[in-house]
Amino acid sequence: MSGGVSVSEKIILLDRDGVVNYDSDDYIKSSKEWRPLPGSIQAISDLTQRGFRIYVITNQSGIGRGLFTVAALNRMHDKMRSLVAAKGGRIEGIYYCPHIPDDHCECRKPKVGLLRQLCAQENISTLRGVPFVGDSKSDLECAKQVDAQGILVKTGKGIRTVKQLTEPVTVPIFEDLAAVAKNLLEV
């Protein structure tokens, strides 16, 4: 399914691994391993240049698992921001959960703690209708809890996620972030 995505505010939420960059079941542990997906950096730039504020919302349990440090994560994010800036774009903020699932924290998607942090820090009153682009069921569930517009991409774990969906698919599905951006910019 594809089609129009409503945009009530000029904010877009993006999962990171599998949406912006290649994902790995072995985790992305360094800036060397962090590689953007084709078209994702340009998509973020295009959205920024059309007035959208981009926020990355990402689970990073590799920290809690001891696979990489916060410093290594910051280097990955510096690389991502640098690549986006080089194309004329901007990422307004990056919110991440460093915990493992067994920690039962409030910030690990599908819980909405990261979104609450975002709203508090950025003085955002509602995320109703805001596009939330992800490749996993937890991204879609997180979006649904705050009335954001969940959007699924087939990159990363997206194709696996499509197969896991048991209810009728009620979210737009796109090939990748570039296709999402193209759709949003045509609205």
Q: What is the pLDDT of residues 136-148, one digit of tens each?
A: 999 999 999 999 9
**Mean pLDDT for the chain overall:** 93
135 is catalytic: no
> Considering the domain 11-186, what is its CATH architecture?
3-Layer(aba) Sandwich (3.40)
pLDDT recorded at residue 85: 98
Give residue 82's pLDDT.
98
Say whether pLDDT at 44 is over 80: yes
Phi-psi sector, 37: left (phi>0), alpha (psi -120 to 50), beta = beta
Under a CB-based contact definition with an 8 Å cutoff, are residues 20 and 177 in contact? yes
Catalytic residue status for 103: no
Out of 17, 23, 135, 176, the active site residue is 17
What percent of the chain has pLDDT above 90?
89
Each residue's pLDDT tens digit, 159-180: 999 888 877 778 999 999 999 9
Q: Which helix (H) or strand (E) holds 82?
A: helix 70-86
pLDDT of 119: 96
Are 174 and 183 within 8 A, CB to CB?
yes
Residue 187 confidence class, pLDDT cut points 50, 70, 90: low
